Amino acid sequence: MKTIEPTDAIQQSLRDAPQVDLSWIQPAPTADGWTLAPDALRFVTKIVEVLRPHHILELGSGLSTRLLSRAAGPLSPKCVISSVDHDPQFNWGSGGAAIEEGGAKVKFHLAPLVVREFGGKLLGAYLIQPEKLATKRPADLVIVDGPPVNLGGREGTLYQIMDFARPGTLVLLDDSKRPEERAAIKAWEENLGDAVTIRQLPGFGKGMASIVINRPVPTKEFWHHRFELSKAEIEQIVPEGQSLLIAGDNWWGRELGTSRPLLPFMEKDGAYWGEPTDDAAAIAELDRQAARGTHFMAFGWPTFWWLGHYKQLAAELARRGKKVLDNDRLVLFDLRP
Ligand SMILES: C[S@@+](CC[C@H](N)C(=O)[O-])C[C@H]1O[C@@H](n2cnc3c(N)ncnc32)[C@H](O)[C@@H]1O
């Protein structure tokens, strides 16, 4: 059978989802509970029919698991479902049996929520043991409906999914209109760049975002990936031969691998001279460096706190120049007169 591109599958499913019958769900699902809302349940049913995945990975078990099993049951070649949850009460520990009559096989994986580092960010994540998933093959479709925001939220999930994805894996993020999910989407866009294509889909009460993974960025490469993006952004703005101040110890700058000459801030004889004692010291150093012809200053994420702590320095940078980049990895000021 011909495979369908994720974007075409989305279009077709958006069009046909309103016809999906949910009357088999009793009591009837509502839009204000913990489960996927009816509009999302219809869309997810349709996308399974249209995309014909071999492996579905679900983060956040529940009614959606039954629905996935049911929708994937008739698929041939067979589809298997890995359903991950942190809470024994909602991860139905059924030993991997099919849960719907005629439904696709579901392998439940009870995975604690832990804190892990993703490319220098500490985030909540499921402790997924790959051998506990339904299959070793990458996921074709991923449904992200957990963890709850009070337990760390969903930003970590896309980074960790990368280890179970292939080019073209389609990820659906439920509740994508909420501020926390919007923040996660913004961070994904800023940290993954064109490795993903993210879209808020129309017509969902609580929001539904699609994330097509164009190129998986494995967790072990994510650190390097974040620096590569930062380097490219810097080199687009800072002309060749112009030097750049890097707030804090120069390790962050060295990691960029840029050809632009870097100066740590504070600096003495080319070496890092420690954090400024106060705003006045920081501004005096800025003056000294400007007099030497250095007109760009970067803050990597480890020194973002400076911009809150050295308030007068931050105001002075904004007064003298322009904040030309401000994302999850990098803040860059262009201070050219
Ligand atoms: C949004 S829910 C996932 C719902 C699931 N995808 C569904 O459609 O039924 C996210 C997580 O919250 C937890 N959860 C679900 N119902 C809950 C409840 N009534 N009280 C507390 N936690 C709940 C579960 O661990 C679940 O994985």
Pocket lining: 35 vs ligand 1, CB cutoff 6 Å: yes
* Tokens (6 digits) for 222: 């994510």
**Concatenated DSSP letters of 121-162:** EEEEEE---GGGSS-SSPPSEEEE--S-GGGT-SHHHHHHHG
Do 30 and 177 lie in a common domain?
yes
d(CA 3, CA 52): 8
Domain count for the chain: 2
316 C-alpha to ligand 1 centroid (Å): 47
Looking at the domain assignment, is residue 1 inside a domain? Answer: no
The whole-number average pLDDT for the span 313-319 is 98
- For residue 147, how far is its CA from the centre of ligand 1 (angstroms)? 8
**Residue percentage of the chain with pLDDT more than 70:** 97
Length of the chain: 337
Answer yes or no: do 62 and 185 share one domain.
yes
pLDDT in tens, 224-277: 999 999 999 999 999 999 999 999 998 999 999 999 999 999 999 999 999 999
Phi first, then psi: what are they for 249, rounded to 5°?
Answer: -55, 145
Is pLDDT of 94 > 70?
Answer: no
Q: What are phi and psi of 109, to 5 degrees?
A: -135, 110
Task: Evaluate: CB of 34 within 6 angstroms of ligand 1.
Answer: yes
CA 57–ligand 1 middle distance (angstroms): 16
| Residue 82 and residue 55 in contact, taking contact as beta carbons nearer than 8 Å | yes
Domain that holds residue 197: 6-217
Q: Whose CA is closest to 258, among 276, 278, 274, 238?
A: 238
pLDDT of residue 101: 78
Q: Of 169, 196, 217, which one is at a domain's C-terminal end? A: 217
Task: Please tell me the pTM assigned to this model.
Answer: 0.95
Nearest Cα to Cα of residue 58 among 25, 99, 30: 99
Which residue has the CA at smallest separation from atom 27 of ligand 1?
60
Question: Whose structure tokens read 């002075």?
Answer: 316
